Amino acid sequence: MVRSRSRRLVVVLVVVVVLVGIGLAAVWGLQRQLIYFPDASDVPPAGDALPGARDVTLETADGLELGAWYLPADAARDTGLAVLMAPGNGGNRAGRADLARELGERGFAVLVMDYRRYGGNPGSPSEDGLAADADAAVRALVDLGHSLDRTIFLGESLGTGVVAGLQQRHRPAGIVLRSPFTELADVGRHHYPWLPVRALLRDRFPVLEPLASSDVPVTVVHGDRDDIVPTELSERVADGVPVLVERVVLEGAGHNDAVMFGPQVADAVVRLARRVG
C-alpha cells in the first residue's frame, strides 16, 4: 500500500514537472508576442496625417527600409532643435501624430519613427532590432541637417528602453522619458509574479542602468494611475538619473490616456529644451 502511494506520488510529480516545463517553454517561445503589439497596417502619407510633414525612409544596418515621418520646424517658431520620437510597444506612428503636431507648433523639427513590423514596415521586432531601427533614425536626422547636440530623444514606455540604449551610442542634447521603467523584467514581474521572468526574458530593455552613468539631462513624465508600468518604477528612474531636469507627474493619468500624448508632454520637452539649448 505504501509502495503504491509512493508510486502515485512520483507519477503526479512527474506530470507536474512536465506541465510546468511545457508552460515555461511556451512562454519562452511566445514571449515576444507578449511584449510587442504592432499595428502592421499601412499608414497614410505623412502630409495627410500631419500637415507639413513628409515621408522619409530609415535604412537599417541589417538591410531594412523603414517608413517614418519627418515634420520640419515652422520657420517662424524654429527653436533650432529636433525631437526623435521613439514609440512604445503598440500601435504605429499614426497614433503619435497629435503629439508630433504639438511639438511642431512649439518650434521643433520632429522625426516620428516606426520600428520594424510596425506601420507597414518589414521585419520582426526584438531588442537588437529596435536598437538598429533607432540608430537608423539618428542617421536620418543627421542627413536632414540635425546634429545630435541639437536633438532631444523622446522615448515612450518601451521606447524609454530604446533611447536609454541609444544615448550610449549617440549622445543627444537631452532625453524625455515618458512612462519609463527600470528594466522590462521589473514590469514583467509585476504582471506575472508567478513566473521566473528575469530568467526567461530575452529582450531586457534596461533604462536605469545605462542612464545611471550618463550626464545627459533627463526629464521624466509619468501618470500616477498607470496600469501598465507601475508608478514606482518611473519614480525609481527619476530618482536614479544623475541629471534630472524635471519630474512631471500627470495626476489621474493612465498609461495610454490622451493626456500622455498631448500638450503637457510637449510642454515638458519645451522646458528641457530651454535648459539644454
Judged by average pLDDT, the poorest of 11-15, 107-111, 221-225, 256-260 is: 11-15
Burial 129-166 (b: 16+ CB within 10 A, else e): bbbbbbbbbbebbeeeebebebbbbbbbbbbbbbbbbb
Residue 23 pLDDT class (50, 70, 90 cuts): very low
CA–CA distance, 6 with 21 (Å, rounded to integer):
22
pTM above 0.75, yes or no: yes
CA–CA distance, 118 with 159 (Å, rounded to integer):
13
pLDDT of residue 277: 81
CA–CA distance, 167 with 138 (Å, rounded to integer):
10
Residue 34 pLDDT class (50, 70, 90 cuts): confident
pLDDT of residue 188: 92
Whether 187 has a pLDDT exceeding 60, the answer reads yes
Q: What are phi and psi of 266, to 5 degrees?
A: -60, -40
82 in helix, strand or coil? strand
pLDDT of residue 32: 75
Query: Which of 209, 222, 232 shows the shortest CA–CA distance to 257?
Result: 222
Cell of 266: 510637449
- Residue pLDDT, tens place only, 60-102: 999 999 999 999 998 899 999 999 999 999 999 999 999 999 9
Q: How far is CA 137 from CA 81, 241, 257, in A?
A: 15, 24, 26
End-to-end CA distance of the chain: 82
87 in helix, strand or coil? coil
pLDDT of residue 192: 85
Q: Mean pLDDT throughout 198-225? A: 96
CA–CA distance, 32 with 23 (Å, rounded to integer):
15
Distance of CA 212 to the CA centre of its chain: 18
- Report the amino acid identity of residue 175: I
CA–CA distance, 158 with 152 (Å, rounded to integer):
17
- Report the amino acid identity of residue 268: A
